[in-house]
Amino acid sequence: MDFFRVQSVKRMRELIDQQVRRTEKTEEVRLSEALGRVLAEDIKVTEDVPSFTRSTVDGYAVISKDTYGASEAMPGFLQVIGEVEMGEVATKVIHSGQAVYVPTGGMLPEGSDAVVMIEDCEQVQDLLNVTRAVAKHENVIRRGEDASSGDVLLYKGKTLRPQELGALASLGIDSISVVRKVVIGYLSSGDEIVPYDTKELALGKIRDVNGVTIPALAKQWGVDVKVSHIASDQFNDFYQKAERLFQECDALFISGGSSVGAKDYTTEVIESLGDNDPGIVVHGVAVKPGKPTIFSVSSRKPVIGLPGHPASAMIIFQLFGKQIISRLGGEEKYKPVTTKAVLSQNIPSSPGRTDYIRVTLEEGTPFLKATPALGKSGLMKTLVKSDGLLEIEEKKEGIKQGDIVTIHYFL
């Protein structure tokens, strides 16, 4: 293979969209447990919502044309013939010149087509003084206006938020088919890497930071994670641990080296997994930090070689891991969570690559204020200080103080 098939960030995102497909496994879950899950099928409306025409205010159901011309100076007069109790069926039929009191959410009587708010009228015994005209269907939700029987309420691939759950609840749906939770595998590699809970650190050894940050990010995004013991710089050990995760998971993320070092087996191991079709698609992304990133697809499963540097690995996983997980989970469209901010100082950059600068965010008007978290790119403390990543596009040679910039939130 040709090493370092370097691609732009834009092209990397395009290739992820092209190569990563939704997992085919689904499961039935209770509506109360469906928050954040992705629908595996279209949901059709089986009944009109609401099932009856109802008032959106406390007031009087009327025939709208009976109120035309009414004002405080010259009120209209209607006869009150009764009221509708909350939760009860409206039994009265309204004719011209008549009105019926209805509470918020109450059913409109037959014959009425609007509601006069209680503050726009005054009842004296059975006489209603109307001081404001209402239009047809004003202060009313008609039967089926929210959803009509036979319509598609939600399409497959929709991520369920509280408002979608509410819409499903309004139809009496108590369980739904969703895409099964994505399961990713994570493997750290390298003879120099030791478990993060190692108390006495030998000279030359490094605690496994990536084995904590990458799974934590993934869990925060709502996926299940399987973490392997650290792989040594021996091909057989590395391959066996990677192969086990590859078989058990929907995607595999490997950290610990993806360059061309003499003892780096990452590329060789990735090429040995599954059917290797199409195999390694990207070996290197024109991005700083994180250039030696590998993206491969084998047996329809994505395999990603992350940089070994903890800060670089976390940033690359934030940029591309979320998109891959989103695609696997069947989300209709991946949308990075970004905001706009004004830059506090000049930042140089090299054209030909996309730079991501760690920044802190402060309140400002009309935009947030973004200040670079200064320090060497490999330092974790700059991530701890940061609220997000400032994106400098590959065509730019830098950005100036006062420029409006795009910030990717850490999520």
Residues 303 and 193 in one domain: yes
Residues 278 and 391 in one domain: no
Kindly state whether residue 99 falls inside one of the protein's structural domains.
yes
pLDDT tens-digit map of 325-369: 999 998 877 888 899 999 999 999 888 899 999 999 999 888 999
CATH number at residue 106: 2.170.190.11
Kindly state whether residue 4 falls inside one of the protein's structural domains.
no
Mean pLDDT, rounded, for 4-21: 89
pLDDT classification of 3: cutoffs 50, 70, 90: very low
Instruction: Report the alpha-carbon distance of residue 318 to residue 301 in Å, rounded.
Output: 19
C-alpha torsion angle, residues 192, 375, 335, 353 (rounded to 10): -90
* pLDDT given at position 194: 94
Instruction: Report the alpha-carbon distance of residue 173 to residue 74 in Å, rounded.
Output: 50
Q: Is the pLDDT of residue 150 over 60?
A: yes
Q: State the average pLDDT for the chain.
A: 91
Whole-number Cα distances in Å, 83 to 73, 134, 142: 27, 19, 19
* H helix count then E strand count, the chain: 8, 28
* pLDDT given at position 265: 86
CATH number at residue 156: 3.90.105.10
Share of the chain above pLDDT 70, in %: 96
Mean pLDDT, rounded, for 102-126: 96
pLDDT classification of 378: cutoffs 50, 70, 90: low
Q: Is the pLDDT of residue 374 over 50?
A: yes
Among 294, 289, 310, smallest CA distance to 212 is for 310
Q: Is the pLDDT of residue 171 over 70?
A: yes
Residues 200 and 276 in one domain: yes
Residues 241 and 204 in one domain: yes
* pLDDT given at position 262: 41
Residues 31 and 174 in one domain: yes
Residues 62 and 31 in one domain: no
Q: Are 250 and 301 in contact (CB under 8 A)?
A: yes
Residues 157 and 132 in one domain: no
Residues 322 and 357 in one domain: no
Q: Is the pLDDT of residue 293 over 50?
A: yes
Q: Is 279 exposed, middle or buried (CB count within 10 Å of its CB: 0-12, 13-18, 19+)?
A: middle
* pLDDT given at position 376: 67
Q: Are 130 and 120 in contact (CB under 8 A)?
A: yes
Name the domain count of the chain: 4
Mean pLDDT, rounded, for 290-317: 92
Residues 343 and 199 in one domain: no
Kindly state whether residue 281 falls inside one of the protein's structural domains.
yes
Q: Is the pLDDT of residue 299 over 80?
A: yes
Kindly state whether residue 108 falls inside one of the protein's structural domains.
yes
CATH number at residue 346: 2.40.340.10
Single pTM value for the model = 0.78
Instruction: Report the alpha-carbon distance of residue 131 to residue 134 in Å, rounded.
Output: 10
Considering 306, 328, 350, which residue would you say is the last residue of a domain? 328
Q: Look up the domain containing 108 and give its range.
A: 54-141
Mean pLDDT, rounded, for 197-217: 93
Is the model more confident about 289 or about 16? 16
Q: Are 279 and 298 in contact (CB under 8 A)?
A: yes
Residues 243 and 136 in one domain: no
Q: What is the 3-state secondary structure (H, E, C) of 42-109?
A: CEECCCCECCCCEECCCEEEECHHHHCCCCCCCCEEEEEEEECCCCCCCCCECCCCEEEEECCCCECC
pLDDT tens-digit map of 245-266: 999 999 999 997 544 444 568 9
* pLDDT given at position 4: 52
* pLDDT given at position 263: 53
Residues 232 and 273 in one domain: yes
Considering 156, 179, 202, which residue would you say is the last residue of a domain? 179
Considering 276, 297, 328, which residue would you say is the last residue of a domain? 328
Mean pLDDT, rounded, for 227-249: 95
Residues 122 and 161 in one domain: no
pLDDT tens-digit map of 72-86: 999 999 999 999 998
